[in-house]
Structure 1
């Protein structure tokens, strides 16, 4: 991949010469090299129900980009096949995701120019969510993949970057950079199923913890469902930002906001406390706060959680100790 330069500008002819693959597809497995090429064009994509963004979300790990799956409106709800499958299974296929962003056309020609943004990988805990898209042929669901940058990335010029006009995860707007929002906002969204599947063949310790956390949230959601409780999550946009954060789980029935962790160690508990207090500032009415852990923490950490007025729920013997959370 020596021919490819971070931030470099290429046509599809240039990239086909380097990678091969299917030229007309927005998602293409390379025929030369272990890569999946992703093409984003905000100036065209929105008209087809696609809303891609490099700064769609932010959490304690870092920035999350959103990339819409393939499938035309007249084909109905998208499927996890072909190009969408290439994104979802890129780790298992030992392929890297390479993102290219449309930045205008070649002078005097009807041929697009694409900037190489960088290498990405699908988020291992929450790989995607479904977003409703209302088109001319009725409503359908679009897969939106949550991608994390791998190493440095080269951001396209501001003129070609979509910016959210509403502080939710559904609306983006191509155009110049807007001023930061003046107030924090929040939106209640559906709780998509996490993926506990082992994506990495050589899993890192961090990846294992992320998968444990996702699996824990899935089990707790199932537990709440058996208690006739509705589980969703909040998308929070802090004041001064247009990106935001997705909370782990919100018990709508009991009005309890949970922050889950894959480990019951001190660093995880400290992080959870800070996240909960940060999220609560943007949510009205103010929810109860609880930390969800895969096992009982040490007595000192239990005292720490109790001292700040947060509840503790942890898994033990197939159930959840500390539930239901009571208002103190």
Structure 2
């Protein structure tokens, strides 16, 4: 194996094996090849959070998976230099991006294995955004988060190795506010926002329209609640011991129901919603009723899962929201 065309999504490699193929550093997260027109991106959930890196598959839309990849720089504000610049300019430089995800260790050793996820390209409309995250010393700083699109078929790591960040999907709509360390936990109601730009052109030359499913769903449900004379807000939750506050999706003040919206009704989205709701609920008093908001009905098995954990389900069907009011389910 000598070229990147030999890579197949799902294959696993050690860093030494990949270095023999592509050259480049053995320990950096972003590795421009010194022998081929490629940039290798490494993500390791077991180590990333300690350094303020939260890589994840954020959403899956009409154009396929969108991957959030945190830039390099372990201390201080991240800058658009070195590896970060290599990602931003990879199309102009004629380089391909290849993503690898740490999936355990080589049997009988401490050598880590990295699964090849697939080839990606930076989103041409919104290449990256910034957010506040602690560095390796726990100090607040600005990090760069690249928005990457799959070029061809990919192979996601199993759920055992995937990160499930609290605000994975909603960072597409709202920037995360920054606060000083909160001890104990706090929460307060804030106003909802309309998710501006429900549609935008991903590739102007092709007039490809990309719909923010989750944000649009939240907007429609908020309008529905208000049409029923219900007050809709959000919670700003600041758990104890962290610098960041998390904004929930939508809170029905009238019925005291907290909704977590997802842009699709698949198993991973519902699993994530359950975890987010249970985490948010811990910081809100009195504790709200919990419900998941979906654009369509999920499988019967997933409906049963929500029922068993005591979380309501509301989904859109035509112009109606089935399962509402969740306070009566």
Where on the TM-score scale, by shorter chain, does this alignment land: which range? 0.5 to 0.7
**1:189 and 2:163 correspond:** no
* In 2, Cα distance between equivalents of 1:189 and 1:61: 21
- Out of 32, 36, 41, the position equivalent to 2:39 is 36
For 2:174, what is the secondary structure of its paired residue? strand
1:164 to partner: Cα distance:
3.4
Instruction: Give CA deviations for 1:216-238 in whole Å, capped at 9, x if unaligned.
Output: xxxxxxxxxxxxxxxxxxxxxxx
Matches within 5 A, 1:237-248: none
Q: Could you tell me which residue of structure 1 aligns to residue 264 of structure 2?
A: none
Q: Could you tell me which residue of structure 2 aligns to residue 107 of structure 1?
A: 107
Instruction: Give aligned pairs, total.
Output: 206
Indicate conservation of the 8 Å contact 1:20/1:32, yes or no. Answer: yes
Unaligned runs of 5+ in 1: 171-186, 192-251, 288-328
CA 1:159–1:259: 2 relative to 1, 3 Å: closer
Instruction: Give CA deviations for 1:191-232 in whole Å, capped at 9, x if unaligned.
Output: 9xxxxxxxxxxxxxxxxxxxxxxxxxxxxxxxxxxxxxxxxx
1:58 to partner: Cα distance:
3.4
Normalising by structure 2, what TM-score? 0.55
* In 2, Cα distance between equivalents of 1:41 and 1:25: 11
* In 1, Cα distance between equivalents of 2:96 and 2:224: 43
Unaligned runs of 5+ in 2: 177-190, 227-329
Q: Could you tell me which residue of structure 2 aligns to residue 61 of structure 1?
A: 63
Q: Could you tell me which residue of structure 2 aligns to residue 235 of structure 1?
A: none
CA 1:87–1:157: 2 relative to 1, 3 Å: same
Q: Could you tell me which residue of structure 2 aligns to residue 17 of structure 1?
A: 20
1:82 to partner: Cα distance:
0.3
* In 1, Cα distance between equivalents of 2:212 and 2:74: 43
**1:71 and 2:10 correspond:** no
Matches within 5 A, 1:139-288: 139-166=140-167, 169=170, 189-190=174-175, 257-262=196-201, 278-283=217-222
Indicate conservation of the 8 Å contact 1:259/1:275, yes or no. Answer: no
CA RMSD of aligned residues (A): 3.6
Indicate conservation of the 8 Å contact 1:38/1:100, yes or no. Answer: yes
* In 2, Cα distance between equivalents of 1:92 and 1:2: 20
1:109 to partner: Cα distance:
1.6
Q: Could you tell me which residue of structure 2 aligns to residue 206 of structure 1?
A: none
For 1:120, what is the secondary structure of its paired residue? strand
